[in-house]
Amino acid sequence: MLDFVLVLQMFALVNPLTSMPFLVTAHSEGANVRKIAVRAVVVAFFLGVVMVCAGPWLFGVFGITLDSFRVAGGVVLLLLGIRMVTPGQEEERLPDLSDSAIAIMATPLLTGPATISFVTIKAFELGRLAVLSNLCVTFVLVAAVFLLFSLAIDRINAKVIDILSRVMGLFLTAVAIELVARGLEGIILTAAARHQQGV
């Protein structure tokens, strides 16, 4: 049931490193970093579970095919990957309040559009139970990273975090291209089959 490749993909997609600046800011303001991190992980995990359970059902409601969703999800994932690899020059405005940090970290940073798209596609392909079990492992790893970060926050090198985040962004870009390619292939094959039936 446990798929290490899938866990790695979801971990890279969730990418807890992108949330580190918010924790650093919260720490500098005297907030409880560990408490913020735990709450953000719980909220993000809950959102992921909801999408794994409801995502495939939404396909029927909106009349969406898996291949078209692969392309759409791949594009979103590609944009996120590119943004991680080549971050903009302007710094994002960091929240002053703990509740704001929790909300922003939970979504869109941890469970954003790209994560939602990916887990929905995987739930459709592999089944809800398989994705849920791997999602649980992924968020346990994310929680562990946040815990270690909170314990060593005074000694963490921001440059190292930035480099690791860019490497994950490159990995996500490759996953995104694969999703788009598979989606386009499916759409083309389906269109060709319909054309042959119509002839």
Could you tell me the residue range of the domain that residue 100 belongs to? 4-198
pLDDT in tens, 43-59: 999 999 998 998 878 87
Q: Go through 18-37 and write b for each residue having 16 or more CB atoms within 10 A of its CB, e for each that does not.
A: bbbbbbbebbeeebebbebb
pLDDT band at 91, cuts 50/70/90? very low
Helices (H), the chain: 4-14, 20-28, 33-62, 66-85, 98-104, 113-126, 128-151, 158-198
| pLDDT tens readout for residues 99-154 | 666 776 776 668 877 788 889 889 988 999 999 999 999 999 999 999 998 888 77
Rounded-to-integer distance, Cα 183 and Cα 3, Å? 22
Q: How many CB atoms lie within 10 A of CB 173?
A: 19
Q: Report whether pLDDT(90) > 50.
A: no
What is the value of pTM for the model shown? 0.72
Q: How many domains does the chain contain in total? A: 1
Q: Residue 146's closest CA among 56, 60, 32?
A: 32
